[in-house]
A and B are shown apart, each in its own frame.
Chain A
Amino acid sequence: MWSRRSLVQWIGRLSSNRLLSSSVYGMSVLYFILLILLPAILGVLMRLGSVEQVLGNQPLLSRSLSAVASSFVLASAVSVLDIIAGLPLAWVIVRKKAKWVRLLDALVDLPLIVPTVTLGFSVLLFWSSSGPLGYLGLPALSPGWVLVVLLHFSFSYPVVVRVLVGKMLELNLVYETAAKTLGATPFTAARTITLPLLSSGVVASLLLAFARSLSETGATIMVAGAFENGPVFIRNSLSEGLEGPLVFTSLVLITVSVAIFYTVKALKVNLQVPFERANVSLERKLSRGKVTTVGFYVAVAILLIFVVLPVVSLSLNYAPAVLDTEIAREVLSGSGIWGDFWSGVLLSYAVGCVVTILNVIFSIPMAVLISRRKLGMMSSMILNGLVSVPIVIPSVALGVSMMFFWSNVSLPEFWLIVFSHLSITYPYLVESLVAALDDIPTYLEETARTLGADSFRSFATITLPLARYSLLSGAILTFTRSVDETGATLAVSSQLRTVPVLLVDWVKNPFPGSELAVGIGTLVLLLTSIAILVVLKKISGGERNA
């Protein structure tokens, strides 16, 4: 106890040294610019010359352009579908009081826990002839763009619902009630009052789903078949050893997605529908109990069929194999392919830990810089905008850029993977911390100062403890995203294979017994990811919720 007190006081004395505190902030900005931002963009620009390979080759050019176009069409279609199906579901979760709604609420979180490769394999299996469709004698879906759409829907839909639920919970019901007392039917009130108030949330979740769909690589490769979107094309070019298409496609992906993202943000799209044009009698019909109930059940059915059932079916399918002692012994022994599997798992978690620790350390001062406007209004806004760049860039393009950027320095592959994951996950931590800090009033820290706490102590004892849930959830998100990541990992690594990359490999290059191996592997991955989350929840739980 004594030593802890004196440590805090010692740091406190150091922190009143202006030079020292500005050098901490300076380091965090340098970290962001040199390690996170620049490599993600500059690498591709450094190889701009090789673009000629593509520009001079008509078939290659049209193939890569159509791949990029597919990426954006896919992402737009999926995010719009997410919103259409997500709004009613979010509505049910927020407004219905029934007990089954809580179960629904938990189910929505399921795909956030399931590693994307597991989800990919689930989708592949569920719609194949060996899945329930085959059972019922219905035509199965073979790998191709339809499966890709289903897959992207299944991992982005829960994200959208989560964001929408959060925004709806923040809404004040007073406005809607007021609209109803003024004569609006429930549907009209929802359309003219609630939806416009929600528009920022809708836009935010659209962008999030859009970015996620653009980025997803590993699971997409599993179900894509001959279909090529940007990430799949880049992966194919990687295995063909062509540099031109890599640079060209990455460059186009980066430029267009950054442009779209910031245009949408700048326009602050307003979703309000002019209420004069309301069709009153139609809306009255839509407001009737039956119509809304049907709508809600459809939303729930979509969640179950497209998101929950594939995962459940995969688990049921391979649970017997995992429980079989013979097989379990072989898996645990780590012989043959299982040796690769376990070293992949180890690598994934090692990378995840390093990435989480580094980003936690460097994102805290950055979040303070942004939220407390230490550099003035303008620079804080610019920094805040720049921080989200790595989220926007499709991760495989980011990986390609990273690979070229660090190619002059002979960096061990482990660190290449770490660096690319740092870049991809950095925004999640900073953004969740900034949001948390924005919610913590500055007067708390100020009051602590007037009571005798120096600036470091007031931050460490007041602000940081109040932000710890956001810090923890940001750290969990960082860790799971890193473990889950395939796009950038594929791009930067040639020898080392993280576990999702390995599983994608097994699907793409089958060998005898590979399907069972992938099934078991994805299931093991799912179980460990659940176990880690449970442990983390235990650690963070039990304390008083402030």
Chain B
Amino acid sequence: MPEIGLRGVTKRFEETTAIDDVSMTVRDREYLCVVGPTGSGKSTLLRLIAGLVRADRGSILIDGHVVNDVPPERRNAALMPQNYALFPHMTAWQNVSYGPASRGLDPEFIETRTRRLFRVVKLQNWAKAYPDQLSGGMQQRVALIRCLAGGAKILLLDEPLGALDARLRLDLRRRLKGFARRFKLTVVHVTHDQAEAISLGDRVLLLRRGRVEQEGTPRRLYFNPRSIFAASFIGERVLLEGVTRETHEGLARIEVSGIGSVLAVAKGLARGDLAVLSVRRESLRFAGPSDRDMNRMKGVVRDIRPLGAYFRYSIELPRGNLVHAHVPSSVALESSVSQGSEVELCFSPRETLAYGYPMRGLALEVEAL
């Protein structure tokens, strides 16, 4: 039952605190995605679990045992770094059988297991190739089965899809998940790509400056971001600034200059507070006659881009700021709105989230760090 736990773990590197009092649990066979901007401590978190760096404070548990003093080779947690770290001087076969051979397992057993793993990823014919003779996708598969050959049940993936081109990335996302299920793995998958985290993780953990900003199911992170940072990091949002006029039962009426009065879901806002509103781009739509009880804003269409399932409309508001609305392609194709049209957008108060205005300013707050 490979289960991972962190209890108040802190890791400092000279001046900077990479991981700051983090507690978390990864349950058996869970696929956890850790997401966060560059420098948020994602890789350090992975290296702490792998045993490559030692925690300054707190304890790390695997299967309920404290492993702070257990060296990496005895933790049974295999790491796959971003560039895969395939050993360049060994063939694919030697790479994969490296783990079990290091553990001193029986050669016949190693042979059978390695062969089976190569069959699983359909690379039987490439076993004798050296890493530099393999394509990026093949290298990734070899790196994956190499992690499993030694019997590890914990898989630590550091940006596993980062080095691949966009098309391959989408394809391998699906395979990665199937792979984890098939081998009953507990996975910690680190990425800076929120879409990857949302589409892969059973649970998602958002890190920021070494602290857990929010954790939960993808659905929760997507629809109920706890902070303006989480809101701007997960999904694509429209952010508007305003002043709180009144609050009532978790709802607030906020005055936004150039737009007017907007109703939003709010917690901890009081009358007179400066607020930031967050609306998902796909929650914006063109207002029709039947749209009552909706927030509304007017603007001029400056640009229209077809982006697959949706069209992106760039709309200039009266105060000159630009917002983007994602409109389903089926709707957009029927629409008569064109560049230069004046449009009215509407969005539901339930999908409008209000947060207190961040102390150091909005731009700094939503900037990656």
Residues of A within 8 A of B (CB): 5, 9, 16, 441, 443-444, 446-455, 457-458, 461-462, 465-466, 544, 546
CA distance A465 to B51 in the complex (A): 24
15 A–B contacts, CB within 8 A, in A order = A5-B104, A9-B104, A446-B81, A446-B85, A447-B81, A448-B87, A449-B50, A449-B71, A450-B75, A451-B98, A451-B147, A452-B99, A453-B99, A457-B102, A466-B89
CA distance A16 to B75 in the complex (A): 15
Question: How distant is A291 from chain B, measured CB to nearest CB, in Å?
Answer: 42
Contact among A446, A461, A546 for B79, CB-based, below 8 A: A446
Question: How distant is A354 from chain B, measured CB to nearest CB, in Å?
Answer: 30
B130–A448 CB distance below 8 A? no
Binary flags per residue of B127-141, CB closer than 8 Å to A gives 1, else 0: 000100000000000
A452–B102 CB distance below 8 A? yes
- Decide: A453 near B85, CB < 8 A? Known: A446-B79, A447-B79: no
B85–A443 CB distance below 8 A? yes
**Additional A-B contact list (20), CB under 8 Å, known A16-B71, A443-B81, A452-B152:** A9-B104, A443-B83, A447-B85, A449-B52, A450-B50, A450-B51, A450-B52, A450-B73, A450-B75, A451-B78, A451-B98, A451-B102, A452-B73, A452-B99, A452-B100, A454-B102, A455-B71, A458-B102, A466-B88, A546-B88
Residue among A441, A449, A451, A454 facing the most chain B CB atoms (10 A cut-off): A451
A444–B103 CB distance below 8 A? no
Residues in B23-69 with C-beta less than 8 Å from chain A: 47, 50-52
| Smallest CB gap from A1: residue in B | B107
| Smallest CB gap from B150: residue in A | A452
| Smallest CB gap from B49: residue in A | A450
| Smallest CB gap from B75: residue in A | A450
Residues of B within 8 A of A (CB): 47, 50-52, 71-73, 75-81, 83, 85, 87-89, 98-100, 102-104, 130, 146-147, 149-150, 152, 156
A450–B102 CB distance below 8 A? no
CA distance A448 to B149 in the complex (A): 12
| Smallest CB gap from A5: residue in B | B104
| Smallest CB gap from B102: residue in A | A453
Question: How distant is B82 from chain A, measured CB to nearest CB, in Å?
Answer: 9
| Smallest CB gap from A442: residue in B | B52
A450–B88 CB distance below 8 A? no
CA distance A462 to B86 in the complex (A): 10
A446–B52 CB distance below 8 A? yes
CA distance A448 to B150 in the complex (A): 11
B85–A449 CB distance below 8 A? no
Point out the residues of chain B lying under 8 angstroms from A544, CB to CB.
89, 130
CA distance A447 to B75 in the complex (A): 13
A451–B146 CB distance below 8 A? yes
A444–B85 CB distance below 8 A? yes
Contact among A447, A452, A455, A462 for B103, CB-based, below 8 A: A452
B71–A453 CB distance below 8 A? no
| Smallest CB gap from B76: residue in A | A452
Point out the residues of chain B lying under 8 angstroms from A448, CB to CB.
87, 98, 102
Question: How distant is A199 from chain B, measured CB to nearest CB, in Å?
Answer: 30
B72–A446 CB distance below 8 A? yes
Question: How distant is A374 from chain B, measured CB to nearest CB, in Å?
Answer: 15
Point out the residues of chain A lying under 8 angstroms from B77, CB to CB.
450
Question: How distant is A13 from chain B, measured CB to nearest CB, in Å?
Answer: 11
CA distance A451 to B100 in the complex (A): 8
- Decide: A451 near B99, CB < 8 A? Known: A16-B71, A446-B72, A446-B79: yes
Point out the residues of chain B lying under 8 angstroms from A453, CB to CB.
73, 98-99, 102
A450–B78 CB distance below 8 A? yes
| Smallest CB gap from A466: residue in B | B89
CA distance A427 to B243 in the complex (A): 69
CA distance A449 to B130 in the complex (A): 21
Point out the residues of chain B lying under 8 angstroms from A457, CB to CB.
102
Nearest first, the 3 A-B pairs at minimum CB distance are A451-B99, A453-B102, A546-B89
